[in-house]
Amino acid sequence: MVRMTLVKKNPGIVSILLLTFFLFHSFDVWADELRVAVASNFLLPVKELSRKFEETTTNRVALISASTGKLYAQIKQGAPFDILLAADSLRPKLLEKEGIGVPGSRFTYAVGRLALWSADNTLFLRNDLQVLNQKNFRYLAIANPKTAPYGKAAEQVLRKKGFWDQLQTRLVRGENISQTFQFLVTGNADIGFIALSQLKRNQGQLKGYSWVVPAEWHNPIRQQAILLKRAKTNKAAKEFLNFIKSNRVQKIIESYGYSLEHL
Amino acid sequence: MDISSSGPIWLTLQLASVTVMILLAIGTPIAWWLAHTRSKMRVGIEAVVALPLVLPPTVLGFYLLILLGPNGWIGGPLKTLTGSPLSFTFTGLVFASTLYSLPFVVQPLQSNFESIGSTPMETAASLGASRWDAFFSVILPLSRRGYLTATVLGFAHTLGEFGVVLMVGGNIPGKTKVISIEIYDRVEVLEYTQAHILSAGLLLFSFIILLTVYSINKKLPVHIS
C-alpha cells in the first residue's frame, strides 16, 4: 500500500528510480565484456582485430585507449580492465612485478617503427636526418619522451645524431603519439617523428614525404601485452591474447607498419 | 612575446596576470554595453560570451589549433607578418586563455554595472562631467566589488586551464608548459610526490585567493540604484 501511494504521489521520483535501475542494469551487461586497454598508437589496428575476433566468438570486446602511462596508473588504481596492450615493455613488466599482471602472460605483440614525416615535400633533400640541419622549418614535433615510448625513441635518435641540444627551442611535444601526428596534420608543426603505423593507416590521404628511421638508431619499441589479474580465469581474455599471438594476426599487425619479434 | 625559460609556476602566474589585464581591458566595454544596451543583439552577444562556460575545452582547443596554426585564419596572416604562427607560443596561450576566461570577467562586471544603473552617469553628466570623466571618477569607484570579483575569477580560472593548453601549447618548458600540464606529466610518469606538492600548492593558493575575495567583498558596500 505504501508503495502504491509513492507511485501515485511521485510519478517523477518513480520514473527516475526506474531509469537509474535500467542504467545500472545496462552497466552490468557491459561488465561481462572483455575490456582491453590499448595504447593510443595501436587503437586502429586493434579495432580491426577485435572485429575479426568477435566474428569467431560470442564475446564482445570493449576498447579503452589512452597513453600507456595513463592506463598503467589507472590499472594500478583498480581500473576494471582485463588486458593491457601497452606501447612499451616497461609498464607490463612493472605490472607483472607488482602482482597486478598475470606472471608469464606477457609477450611482445608488435615492435614499433619510427618515421620522420613532413607534409612539406620541399623539406627533404636526402633520406636521412640532414633535413634537421635546415633552418626553413619552425617546429619539430615529437611525442613527450617522458610519457610516450615513441617520444623516447625520437629523443634517442636526436641525441645519437647530435640534434637534441640544437633543436631544443624548436621542439614541440605531443601528449602522446596521436597528438604529435595531429600537430603535423593540422600544419602546426612542420616536421615530426611519428609511428610508421600512423602513416600506413592514412596512406592515400596524406601528402608530403616520409622516411623510416633505421631501427638500430633507437632502442626497440617493444609493445607488450599482459593479462591482468582480474581476468586470470577469464577464458575470453586468454582466447583474445592467443588470437593476437597467432601467425595470421601477427601478419596483419605487420601490415600496419609494425615489425615483429617472433615471426 | 617571448618569455624566457622559467618554471611552470612562474609561467602560469605570468599567463594568468597577462590574461586578466587583457580581459579587464576588453571585458569592461563589453560588460558596459551589455548592461546598458537595448539592442536586439544583446542576447546573442550574451550567449556568445557565456559559451566558454559550457563548451568542453577540447572544442575550443580543436578550433584554436586550426585557427592559430600556419594555415589558419589567424595564424596564417600572422605567419606572413611576423614569421611565426600563434600555436605553441606564449602569445597563443594568452589568446586562448582570454577566450576561455572571458565569461568569468564579463559576467561579474555586467551585473555590477547593471546594479549601479544609469543614474550616477546621468547625475555626473548633469553636473557637466564628460562620459570618460564620469566613468573613471564615478562608476569605477562604485565598481570595486565587481572588478575584484572579475579579476580574481578570471585569474583563478586561467590558473586552472588545462584542456585548451594541452591542445595548442605543445608542452614547451618556459613557454607553454603551465602548472596543470606539469602536474599531468608528473602523474603520468608516477612521480606522485612532485604531483602532490604542485597540486596541494595550487589547491591551497586557489582557496586562499577565493577566501580573500569573499571576505573583502563582504566588507565592500553594494551599490544598488
Taking only the tens place, the pLDDT of each residue in B20-36 is: 999 999 999 999 999 99
Residue A142: closest C-alpha in chain B:
B170
Judged by a CB distance cut-off of 8 A, whether residue A67 touches chain B is yes
Q: Which of B65, B166, B187 sits opposite A186 (nearest CB)?
A: B65
Report the relative pairing of strands A209-212 and A191-195 from DSSP bridges. Answer: unpaired
CB contact under 8 A, A73 and B188: yes
Task: Please count the helices (runs of H) and the strands (runs of E) in chain B.
Answer: 12, 0
Chain A interface test: which of B62, B65, B88 (most A C-beta within 10 Å): B88
Question: Do residues A40 and A91 both lie within one domain?
Answer: yes
Given a contact cutoff of 8 angstroms between Cβ atoms, the answer to whether B180 and B161 are in contact is yes
Residue entry with cell 575550443: B60
CB contact under 8 A, A188 and B189: no
Question: Do residues A227 and A105 both lie within one domain?
Answer: yes
Question: Do residues A73 and A202 both lie within one domain?
Answer: no
CB contact under 8 A, A139 and B189: no
Strand, helix or coil at B80? helix
Q: According to the model, what pLDDT value does residue A210 have?
A: 86
Provide the domain count of chain A. Answer: 2
Q: Which of B65, B84, B187 sits opposite A138 (nearest CB)?
A: B84
Question: Do residues A247 and A159 both lie within one domain?
Answer: no
Judged by a CB distance cut-off of 8 A, whether residue A187 touches chain B is yes
Q: How far away is chain A from the Cα of B189, in angstroms, using its nearest Cα?
A: 6
B-facing residues of A in 114-133 (CB < 8 A) are: none
Q: According to the model, what pLDDT value does residue A115 have?
A: 93
Q: How far away is chain A from the Cα of B66, in angstroms, using its nearest Cα?
A: 6
CATH code of the domain covering residue A208 = 3.40.190.10
The mean of the pLDDT values for chain A is 86
Residue B75: closest C-alpha in chain A:
A188
Question: Do residues A62 and A192 both lie within one domain?
Answer: no
Q: Which of A138, A146, A179 sits opposite B189 (nearest CB)?
A: A146
Q: Is the pLDDT score of A6 beyond 70?
A: no
Residue B167: closest C-alpha in chain A:
A179
Tell whether A9 is covered by a domain: no
Q: How far away is chain A from the Cα of B78, in angstroms, using its nearest Cα?
A: 13
CB contact under 8 A, A139 and B88: yes
Residue A76: closest C-alpha in chain B:
B190
Question: Do residues A241 and A185 both lie within one domain?
Answer: no
Question: Do residues A56 and A73 both lie within one domain?
Answer: yes
Q: How far away is chain A from the Cα of B69, in angstroms, using its nearest Cα?
A: 5
Strand, helix or coil at A221? strand
Reduced 3-state DSSP string for A35-66: EEEEEHHHHHHHHHHHHHHHHHCCCCEEEEEE
> What DSSP letter does each residue of A66-84 carry, written as one string?
E-HHHHHHHHHTT---SEE
Question: Per the CATH hierarchy, to which homologous superfamily does domain B8-219 belong?
Answer: MetI-like (1.10.3720.10)
Q: Which domain, by its residues, includes A125?
A: 114-212
Q: Which residues of B sit within 8 Å Cβ distance of A?
A: 65-66, 68-71, 75, 84-85, 87-88, 166-167, 170-172, 184-185, 187-190
Please enumerate in sequence order all residues whose Cβ is within 8 A of that of A194, keeping only pairs 6 or more positions apart, or say none.
Answer: A114, A115, A117, A141, A143, A150, A177, A180, A181, A184
Tell whether A48 is covered by a domain: yes
Distance, CA of A114 to CA of A150 (rounded, Å): 7
Per DSSP, helices labelled H in B37-178 are 41-54, 57-68, 75-82, 90-116, 119-126, 131-134, 140-142, 144-159, 163-168
Q: Which of B71, B84, B166 sits opposite A187 (nearest CB)?
A: B71
Q: Which of A67, A70, A188 sits opposite B87 (nearest CB)?
A: A188
CB contact under 8 A, B170 and A183: yes
Instruction: Count Cα atoms within 13 angstroms, Cβ side, for A120.
Output: 20
- Mean pLDDT of all residues in A76-90: 93
pTM: 0.77
Phi-psi region of B174 (alpha: psi -120 to 50; beta: other; left: phi over 0): left
Distance, CA of B190 to CA of B186 (rounded, Å): 6
Residue B216's CB is within 10 A of a number of other CB atoms, namely: 14
Judged by a CB distance cut-off of 8 A, whether residue A69 touches chain B is yes
Which value does ipTM take for this structure? 0.72
Strands (DSSP E) contained in chain A are: 34-39, 61-66, 83-85, 107-112, 114-118, 140-143, 171-174, 191-195, 209-212, 221-227
Distance, CA of A106 to CA of A95 (rounded, Å): 10
Given a contact cutoff of 8 angstroms between Cβ atoms, the answer to whether B16 and B92 are in contact is no
Domain ranges of chain B: 8-219
Reduced 3-state DSSP string for A91-117: HHHHHHHCCCECCCCCEEEEEECEEEE
Tell whether A12 is covered by a domain: no
Q: Which of A141, A179, A188 sits opposite B70 (nearest CB)?
A: A188
Q: How many residues does chain A have?
A: 263
Question: Do residues A169 and A46 both lie within one domain?
Answer: no
Size of the A and B interface in Cβ pairs below 8 Å: 56
Question: Do residues A119 and A207 both lie within one domain?
Answer: yes
Judged by a CB distance cut-off of 8 A, whether residue A176 touches chain B is no
CB contact under 8 A, A189 and B88: yes
Chain A residues whose beta carbon lies within 8 Å of the beta carbon of residue B65: 182, 186, 188
Judged by a CB distance cut-off of 8 A, whether residue A232 touches chain B is no
Among A14-23, A216-225, B130-139, name the one with the lowest average pLDDT. Answer: A14-23
Question: Do residues A192 and A165 both lie within one domain?
Answer: yes
Q: According to the model, what pLDDT value does residue B4 have?
A: 35
Q: According to the model, what pLDDT value does residue A8 have?
A: 62
Higher pLDDT, A122 or A44: A44
- Is residue A118 exposed (0-12), middle (13-18) or buried (19+ Cβ within 10 Å)? buried
Residue entry with cell 647530435: A162
CB contact under 8 A, B170 and A173: yes
Residue entry with cell 575470453: A236
pLDDT tens sequence for chain B (225 residues): 333 334 899 999 999 999 999 999 999 999 999 999 999 999 999 999 999 999 999 999 999 988 998 888 998 898 888 877 888 899 999 999 999 999 999 999 999 999 998 888 888 888 888 888 888 888 999 999 899 999 999 999 999 899 899 888 888 877 888 999 999 888 877 788 889 999 999 999 999 988 988 888 888 766 554
C-alpha cell at position A213: 628511421
Tell whether A261 is covered by a domain: no
Distance, CA of B154 to CA of B223 (rounded, Å): 22
Question: Do residues A62 and A152 both lie within one domain?
Answer: no
Question: Do residues A102 and A141 both lie within one domain?
Answer: no
